[in-house]
Structure 1
Amino acid sequence: MSAETDSGGDHGLPDSSTITRWLVTTNHKDVGILYTVTALFFLVFGGVLALLMRIQLWTPGAGFLEAVSYNQAVSAHGLIMVFWFLSPFAFGFANYVVPLQIGARDLAFPRLNALSYWLYLFSGLLFAVSFFQGATFAGGWTMYAPLNVPVYTPDIGASTAVLALVLFVVSVTVSSVNFLTSMHRMRAEGLTLRRMPIFSWTILLTVWMMLFAFAALLAALLILSSDRLLGTQYFAATGAGGSLLWAHLFWFFGHPEVYIVFFPALGVMAECFQTFTGQRLVGRKWFIAAMVLVALQSFVVWMHHMFLTSINLEIKTLFMATTIGISLPFDLMVFALIYTLIKGRIRFTTPFLFSFGALVLFIIGGITGVFLGAVVLDYEFRGTYWVVAHFHYVMVGGVTALFGGLYYWFPKMTGKMYDEFLGKLHFGLYFVGFNLLYFPMFLSWETPRRDFVYPEAFVSWHQLSTVGGFVLGISFLVMFYNLAKSLVAGEAADDNPWAFSTTTEWALPSPPPIENFPGVPTFASGALEFRSAEAGDRSAVEIADGGGEPAPDGGPAHAAGTDAADHEEDHASPWPLAVGVASFVLLLGLSGLQRGGFPSGVEGGFYVATTGVGLAALGWTLVRLARERFVGPSGPFGESWPFEAVENTKLGVWIFLASDVVLFGAFIGSYVFIRVAHGWTDWHELVPEAHVVTPGLVNTYLLLTSSFAVVVALVAAERESRWGLVGSLGLTFGLGVAFLVNKAMEWQHLFHVHGETFANGWVPSTNVAASTFYLTTGLHGLHVIGGLCIALYLVARAWNGAYLDDERSIEYFGLYWHFVDIVWLFLFPLFYIL
């Protein structure tokens, strides 16, 4: 790596050759490398599990693995690959490249970026720990109910796997807020959305989908965690629609996840096709429009995964139509890529070969997926290896392009060139192994999915698949050897090793310096220029455009040298790592909960102690993170439509609240779904007479009054009234505490109601009505507790005179607190009146 990049002393970063650098860095390029390396580790983890499965399938009913071990391997392989490899691998590139492409010095919230990585890493480690707690989750990667409840998967390790997924989703949410704020608010002058590079466009749309899809998954996982740890009755209540509810929640996430995985791969394909054909993407604006349409449609096709359920035929027909409809924009994108190849002059480099191979594989996956979109054919193919083959041709087909992206940006990330011969050897082995592994599954489609017993007639096809799996595995050994050898002894890469690359990252040294740019980047003239932050002058940059049009994708090829302005931004913080460790410890402790209590003896004592230590550590590290003085990127940033008037932190809060709307919407929707399935009026038989309106009404008044107190606090801060600010924030805190006390008294009363129907009280595990009440209002209560922690912190700082000259922190807290109050206005009538 270059000396400029290695030396971090002026920016608070240790040298990159030290372990400390990678533990404390918040720089987006370092975080991108961490994501990439960690994702490759999980590729190996999941790949080894896949090879164990293929050995088991060499002959039907083989005894290489026991039945439970095989189920664990199948489930863990799917979960690891979908969650801990596919998307994080793409976001390694996104972290590194997107800020460079949009002309930003870093992402909007560098410490949140580092935090998202550490939460991702420790969620994966928590999942790995689950293998040593009896057994990990063994109910399939889709975790269908009721197999996901303790009756069928009783081991503590299964609960740990669910909690690991919860932590992973929290990481995704943090990352989504950061990326959306950055990409909407921090683009360089002149880089409008219309001119933004295709790869950045795919990441922008991917993150919007992630924000809402993963919020629905978080709701499902929190409910499942409650069923497993607290004994609630959501998914065990099959008679009340629990199994169907899980399918709705999971697939509302699950189908957008297909495009969340594939869109970044599509962006890599477009970038590589443009670079290695010297041709601007054909129909670029229509390509972008098609992607936007797919992103929107992705949320209205989830029920085609549920054609075999009891949903009526009219609804199934509607979702068959939406499924066929979403394939049409993809047709446009595929033809745009093909015409780009036809009109250009192709250079068969390793990145191009992987991108082209991905296009071929995706076409096969898309065509075979059309069969599953038809209700009648889905009845025949569902639950067979046809689905396995189609799924991998789409998902792993997309990953094929991401390996092309790894080779494409490897020179930029490391300053070294990879070995071209070994790269092409990797592609050859990969492409042959991939098709040997997955195509025979179409021919042996009658094999039952997730079962190692299959008809003898398919033995040859399965043995061919197993050979293909090992060939595919060997191809990755070639890749790792190539990258390691190149990193140590590869020849130095030019700033721009590709003849026709057109995006901004290729205008910078390889690897780029800490601050990315030698001045303030601007595209106002149609070409990339660097304006001195001190003098306001500009240095023009030549455009190397293989397509013959000005600045396609908004980028150049080479930058003229200018002196970097003096920046005092921070790039190091130990607290994101500390929060990640504390979260890991806390969830490891909570995994020992069983129906609301810890086991007795030494084992129970370990989990109780671990929970206590984790909770204390998490609170302490979050406070230290909040108290740390950290200077991030400062504006003005240039293009920020449609959020010109919204400051970065405020936009981040709004984006987070948007995901929280989906979270609470999923909880409220789950309550309504189960109540309708049980019978809307019959529901009252499940609720004791002691559950009266008065406590809820009192709490409504308390929260509404607390919202008014927050408004008064903001006015006091604007008027620089210290005691008015402290008093109104203190009142907000007091009213919030009163809300929780009243709620606790209500719950305590309901826990001890007596009668023939509720002899043991009305507790979360009594029936599904109790489960929905306690869990939904409990989630709201946790939001209140979070708000009170923030309010207490604000009171302490306001006491010392803070916020009088800058009231924005009070405003942002108010947005959150008002949202919490608004949610209660929905919960009150649902759970107390109707």
Structure 2
Amino acid sequence: MSDDRSTDESAVQPDGGHASRPLAEPTSKQSTLRRFFTRDDLPPYGALRRWLLTTNHKDVGVLYVVTALLFLVFGGVLALLMRIELLTPVGDFLSADGYNQTVSTHGLIMVFWFLSPFAFGFANYIVPLQIGAKDLAFPRLNALSYWLYLFSGILLGLSFFQGGSFSGGWTMYAPLSVPNYMPQIGSTTTILALTLFVISVTVSSVNFLTTMHRMRAPGLTLRRMPLFTWSILLTVWMMLFAFAALLAALLILSSDRILGTTYFTAEGTPGSLLWTHLFWFFGHPEVYIVFFPALGAMAEMFQTFTGRRLVGRKWFIVSMLLVALQSFLVWMHHMFLTSINLQIKTLFMITTIGISLPFDLMVFSLIYTMVKGRLRFTTPFLFAFGSLFVFIIGGITGVFLGAVVLDYQLRGTYWVVAHFHYVMVSGVMALVGALYYWYPKLTGRMYNRRLGKLSFWLFFAGFNLLYFPMFIAWETPRRVFDYPAELTGFHQLATVGGFLLGFAFLLVIWNCYRSLWDGETVSSNPWAHATTAEWAIPSPPPLENFPGMPSYESGSLDFLDRETASTDGGTVTKPTPSSHDGHDSHASPWPLGISIGSFVLFLGLSGVATGGIYVPITIVGGGLLAVTLLGFGLESFSVTEPAVAERWPFAGIENGKLGVWIFLASDIVLFGAFVGSYVFLRAGYGWEAWKIVPHNPIPGLINTYILLTSSFCVVLALVAAQKGRRWGVVAGLTTTLLLGIAFLINKGIEWIELFHHNIWLSTDVQASTFFLTTGLHGLHVVLGLVIVLYMIPRALNGAYLDDERPVEYFGLYWHFVDIVWLFLFPLFYIL
């Protein structure tokens, strides 16, 4: 066994420079604004412009990690406020509402704004390196996802200054979350902040899935992918579908708060049960979404610091795949206390036990890897080993909650709090280990080893001192500050542990910050047994990552001359360094601009129902968003796809088309959740007793013909583009625009007629479901028409004659919108 100094410290120390050229200085005649937005190349690291304009995956990864740590401090301060309150069994520090706000926002920040973004900071930085890509498939979308994430968190922080933040728990159970019980504007702001965060996640998911499926180095099949990349791939697939369900729930809840719909408050319908289904269909996969990246990082560290390949690697991957699939089949075990019948509860108890079995296999795989390897107790490995230890405790205690009878006794107690944190914070422990593990790669410097090990022992001791007493004091009720006086000692121990854990986190942050300046410089691979591709290049990596085209076709990593690599899937046999073919763009101001516009718009929407200053804020935000989206569309931004890559199972689909398909897959879940909500509420109300809102099905039938005809016109435009007929393209797109406008006019006339009969969104649940679901579809139509308005002037200039793909991509979206209407028409007009 050895310590951190057993690593290869005698290797050549690179200068750690970045292969980017500084911007040419603008002339004196250029305006300050133009100088700021000049983006031929990335500014140097020390320039503020670089971090505001960058789209490079490594920079975005660093921004994610740093921002997530800041939100960790935010959420950690809230946690310590809770622990101070719980020093005594009576409320004597925070008010009742203040405590509820603290508990709720602490949970939201840690689950959404810290855990996943912290993991995806590493994913942004490391995954393209591990798969041999120059960047992610859509660099501007990558930057957009970060800025939306940042501004969503700022929006959450502002909620405290709008009469109070959300106070209904991080699960946001209805009807407590509707204005009847929580009228403050800050509660609406919190919901909108989470909505903005989900949009960020969706953008990121499309980007990562396209990249990992279409831009892997030749020879890097899915079976050969590193375990961390595998964990991210499965995580992102879960995110794509789970967060779409959450987005549907948040849109409905926002509508209840802003527009006055009655999804969760209508009498005679199971509205509160509807929220529980929607939330936990997202909520249980979210547990694995949070933990999987930590599991992948843990596997990488176990391999590196035991000096051997993971035992049962193939079955480890199969287990992760099984968990990812099963994660969507166990959500109702969070609902054992609801009115669901016992047979259904028993079925979900069985699926809960079933999903624990693949985890058993993964745990044994990690343990046997340690048994068969030579352990090196470096700081990263200590955190990874500690994570495995506490995760086992969390998993075992979770089995109790999988049993219906025990769940009745334990659900509302601190047993759940302790179990949940033993699972989730075990993931945090592994990710802190990942921070130490990849820190030399990110910075070119080594962390302070003594402080690293001290931070682990403080972390491990503080964690267990904080959470283990909660198992003993399990009779403490959740989410309240009153508890039996005889449990005071356990809660005081937990509070001491909380402050110790907080100090450990600060020590980690201080170690990383201080080591940037005085840490020893390191070689490209400071770990003796690290074998993944990121360790084969300098630390930190150059701008476009690799000296040539990475290839695994020989069985190991080679760098081939890009100019001589064939485009038919073959590669040359002579590995020679080469510069990259083409010049990719790495900076854009529009992701930041779009995010600012979205932030202002959502801030205005939070209080638009109350009028006042929020109305002009909404208008300004909408205008700013429209301008920045236009700038994004008009910007010339160069991204080259690799000529040769592993692309199974999407070899025949280019990046853009695959991105559209992935987005539409998410949109299917979104509309499926809306349609499912309608069916669920109607079935609970009584299918035959339900009142059909439209007085006449004819307007809906007319709109069906309009949309079908418009889809045909898009096909004609695509055919014209393929044949090089400019006016055919213009005619097809223009007719689509006119038909889409006709659809909206017809829909508007129908709505006005309903308004004249005093049928509004807030009239009853039947009207709420009709207006909101068809309104969401109408919003998709509007977005499609905005795209057409953008495309028609370009078509007049012959933009799509040499490359018809944009017309095809738009067609995919438009056909999807039409297909959705084919489901909505019979549901809301006929059945």
- What is aligned with 2:590? 575
- What is aligned with 2:27? none
2:652 to 645, 653, 659: 645
Give, in whole Å, the separation in 2 of the partners of 1:818 and 1:527: 44
1:38 to 67, 84, 87: 67
1:316 to 324, 345, 348: 345
DSSP 3-state at the match of 1:240 = coil
DSSP 3-state at the match of 2:18 = helix
Give, in whole Å, the separation in 1 of the partners of 2:299 and 2:141: 29
- What is aligned with 1:613? 620
1:453 to 446, 471, 482: 482
Decide whether the 8 Å contact of 1:706 with 1:735 is kept in 2: yes
Asked if 1:664 corresponds to 2:667, the answer is no
Letter in 2 for 1:342: V
Decide whether the 8 Å contact of 1:528 with 1:540 is kept in 2: no
- What is aligned with 2:689? 682
- Following TM superposition, by how much is the alpha carbon of 1:90 offset from its aligned partner in structure 2, in angstroms? 0.2
Q: TM-score, normalised by structure 2?
A: 0.95
Q: CA RMSD in A?
A: 1.4
- Following TM superposition, by how much is the alpha carbon of 1:566 offset from its aligned partner in structure 2, in angstroms? 5.1
**Cα distance change on mapping 1:425 and 1:7 into 2, 3 Å:** farther
Give, in whole Å, the separation in 2 of the partners of 1:62 and 1:446: 18
DSSP 3-state at the match of 2:608 = coil
Asked if 1:764 corresponds to 2:771, the answer is no
Give, in whole Å, the separation in 2 of the partners of 1:485 and 1:724: 63
Asked if 1:588 corresponds to 2:603, the answer is yes
Decide whether the 8 Å contact of 1:13 with 1:571 is kept in 2: yes
- Following TM superposition, by how much is the alpha carbon of 1:694 offset from its aligned partner in structure 2, in angstroms? 0.9
Decide whether the 8 Å contact of 1:6 with 1:16 is kept in 2: no
Identical pairs, percent: 69
Provide Cα deviations, 1:610-669, integer angstroms capped at 9, x if missing partner. 111110111111111011000013222410000000000000000000000000000000
Decide whether the 8 Å contact of 1:527 with 1:540 is kept in 2: no
Give, in whole Å, the separation in 2 of the partners of 1:272 and 1:458: 39
Give, in whole Å, the separation in 1 of the partners of 2:295 and 2:572: 33
Give, in whole Å, the separation in 1 of the partners of 2:824 and 2:22: 51
Asked if 1:720 corresponds to 2:724, the answer is yes
- Following TM superposition, by how much is the alpha carbon of 1:393 offset from its aligned partner in structure 2, in angstroms? 0.3
- What is aligned with 1:798? 795
**Cα distance change on mapping 1:564 and 1:539 into 2, 3 Å:** farther
Decide whether the 8 Å contact of 1:530 with 1:539 is kept in 2: no
1:812 to 798, 809, 812: 809
Letter in 2 for 1:46: G
- What is aligned with 1:697? 701
- What is aligned with 2:829? 832
Decide whether the 8 Å contact of 2:608 with 2:618 is kept in 1: no
Give, in whole Å, the separation in 1 of the partners of 2:479 and 2:576: 58
DSSP 3-state at the match of 1:774 = helix
Deviates more, 1:5-14 or 1:367-376: 5-14
Decide whether the 8 Å contact of 1:187 with 1:638 is kept in 2: yes
Letter in 1 for 2:616: A
Give, in whole Å, the separation in 1 of the partners of 2:722 and 2:293: 44
DSSP 3-state at the match of 2:563 = coil
Give, in whole Å, the separation in 2 of the partners of 1:277 and 1:77: 37
In the comparison of the two structures, how many residue pairs are matched? Answer: 798
Give, in whole Å, the separation in 1 of the partners of 2:21 and 2:153: 31
**Cα distance change on mapping 1:271 and 1:539 into 2, 3 Å:** farther
- Following TM superposition, by how much is the alpha carbon of 1:539 offset from its aligned partner in structure 2, in angstroms? 10
Decide whether the 8 Å contact of 2:18 with 2:540 is kept in 1: no
- Following TM superposition, by how much is the alpha carbon of 1:7 offset from its aligned partner in structure 2, in angstroms? 4.1
Decide whether the 8 Å contact of 2:561 with 2:576 is kept in 1: no
DSSP 3-state at the match of 1:530 = strand
Letter in 1 for 2:314: K
Letter in 1 for 2:530: S
Give, in whole Å, the separation in 2 of the partners of 1:20 and 1:633: 24
Letter in 1 for 2:446: M
Provide Cα deviations, 1:456-507, integer angstroms capped at 9, x if missing partner. 0100000000000000011112112211110011110111000000100000
- What is aligned with 1:557? none
DSSP 3-state at the match of 1:4 = coil
- Following TM superposition, by how much is the alpha carbon of 1:40 offset from its aligned partner in structure 2, in angstroms? 0.3
DSSP 3-state at the match of 2:345 = helix
- What is aligned with 1:194? 223
Give, in whole Å, the separation in 1 of the partners of 2:553 and 2:267: 60
Structure 1 unaligned regions, length at least 5: 542-559, 754-760
Give, in whole Å, the separation in 1 of the partners of 2:600 and 2:339: 41
DSSP 3-state at the match of 1:502 = coil
Q: TM-score, normalised by structure 1?
A: 0.94
1:78 to 107, 116, 131: 107
DSSP 3-state at the match of 1:822 = helix
- What is aligned with 2:29? none
Decide whether the 8 Å contact of 2:582 with 2:640 is kept in 1: no
- Following TM superposition, by how much is the alpha carbon of 1:12 offset from its aligned partner in structure 2, in angstroms? 1.0
Structure 2 unaligned regions, length at least 5: 1-14, 25-39
Give, in whole Å, the separation in 2 of the partners of 1:709 and 1:701: 12
- Following TM superposition, by how much is the alpha carbon of 1:535 offset from its aligned partner in structure 2, in angstroms? 4.3
Give, in whole Å, the separation in 1 of the partners of 2:813 and 2:97: 45
- Following TM superposition, by how much is the alpha carbon of 1:8 offset from its aligned partner in structure 2, in angstroms? 4.6
DSSP 3-state at the match of 2:690 = helix
Give, in whole Å, the separation in 2 of the partners of 1:187 and 1:63: 57
Decide whether the 8 Å contact of 1:713 with 1:724 is kept in 2: yes
- What is aligned with 1:159? 188
Decide whether the 8 Å contact of 1:493 with 1:510 is kept in 2: yes
Give, in whole Å, the separation in 2 of the partners of 1:641 and 1:415: 34
Taking the TM superposition and a 5 Å limit, the aligned residue runs for 1:356-375 are: 356-375=385-404
Decide whether the 8 Å contact of 1:230 with 1:593 is kept in 2: no
Give, in whole Å, the separation in 1 of the partners of 2:145 and 2:218: 28
Give, in whole Å, the separation in 2 of the partners of 1:180 and 1:248: 27
- Following TM superposition, by how much is the alpha carbon of 1:536 offset from its aligned partner in structure 2, in angstroms? 4.5
Provide Cα deviations, 1:322-348, integer angstroms capped at 9, x if missing partner. 000000000000000000000000000
- What is aligned with 1:209? 238
Asked if 1:473 corresponds to 2:502, the answer is yes
Decide whether the 8 Å contact of 2:209 with 2:233 is kept in 1: yes
- What is aligned with 1:550? none
- Shift >3 Å, 4+ stretches: 5-11, 535-541
- What is aligned with 1:629? 636
1:750 to 747, 754, 760: 754
Letter in 1 for 2:604: G
**Cα distance change on mapping 1:499 and 1:561 into 2, 3 Å:** farther
Letter in 2 for 1:809: P
- What is aligned with 1:774? 771
Decide whether the 8 Å contact of 1:371 with 1:378 is kept in 2: yes
Decide whether the 8 Å contact of 1:185 with 1:637 is kept in 2: no
2:95 to 66, 69, 74: 66
Provide Cα deviations, 1:29-63, integer angstroms capped at 9, x if missing partner. 00000000000000000000000000000001132
**Cα distance change on mapping 1:705 and 1:6 into 2, 3 Å:** closer
- Following TM superposition, by how much is the alpha carbon of 1:691 offset from its aligned partner in structure 2, in angstroms? 1.9
Give, in whole Å, the separation in 2 of the partners of 1:702 and 1:540: 57
DSSP 3-state at the match of 1:289 = helix
Decide whether the 8 Å contact of 2:548 with 2:576 is kept in 1: no
Letter in 1 for 2:673: A
DSSP 3-state at the match of 1:638 = coil
Decide whether the 8 Å contact of 2:560 with 2:578 is kept in 1: no
Letter in 1 for 2:760: V
Give, in whole Å, the separation in 2 of the partners of 1:52 and 1:819: 48
- Following TM superposition, by how much is the alpha carbon of 1:237 offset from its aligned partner in structure 2, in angstroms? 2.3
Deviates more, 1:625-634 or 1:79-88: 625-634
- Following TM superposition, by how much is the alpha carbon of 1:9 offset from its aligned partner in structure 2, in angstroms? 4.2
- Following TM superposition, by how much is the alpha carbon of 1:238 offset from its aligned partner in structure 2, in angstroms? 5.6
- What is aligned with 1:2? 16
Letter in 2 for 1:576: P
- What is aligned with 1:783? 780
